[in-house]
Amino acid sequence: MDISEGLKFPTNDEKWASKLLIGGIFNIIPIVNFISFGYALETMKLVMWNKETLPEWENFGSKFVKGLVGAIIAIIYLIIPLILMAVFIAMRSKVVNLLGMLIVFILIVIFGFMIPMALANYVAKDSFGAAFEFGEIINRIKSVFGEYLICYIVILIIYLIIGVIATVPIIGWIIGAILGFYLQLVYAYYFGKLYIKSSP
């Protein structure tokens, strides 16, 4: 896997700037941002078909549903750390909260490790249940483990950087939303490629 190719991938489309701007705007708005996530998942499907281009901005309803389902899949995988987060937030001790959030972050990284391949399986088979075919998902990850781990770490690091940018008053969250959408497309490229390279 060429990491740099993935980072450049969204700009390969001749209309990448306008497509990125539209996705970034959708990504700013809660609920509506499911459309941009669905767009990224459609991009992953194109990558699986060896079409290294971005989809057109159309069929918004379909994109919304696909993004919503993708978000539900991610939440299910992260349900344990999310429950723990709620418990720690409910506690009044700052020390417990700080330690708890550290534990939650570690668990999110661990549980989240399967999400990219789960989403790829969902996209490839167009089936919600495919995201929970644990045997196949684990086998696919194992077959490309080294590259998968590198891509996962790269995505995590960039997300953290974008998170810092998003804390800048006023303009930061707008820039963060646009960069976040860009990274979703990079994510789609990496794990779409790894899915077709993996074996069940």
Q: What is the tens place of the pLDDT at every residue in 87-121?
A: 877 776 666 677 878 888 899 999 999 999 999 99
Dig out the tokens for 144 from the structure: 């490309």
Measured CA to CA in angstroms, residue 60 lies from 32, 38, 139 at distances of 10, 9, 34
Each residue of 166-196: pLDDT tens digit? Answer: 888 878 888 898 999 999 999 999 999 999 9
Each domain of the chain, given as residue ranges in start order, spans 3-197
- Do the Cβ atoms of 159 and 186 come closer than 8 Å? no
Could you tell me the pTM of the whole model? Answer: 0.91
In the DSSP assignment, the letter for residue 118 is: H
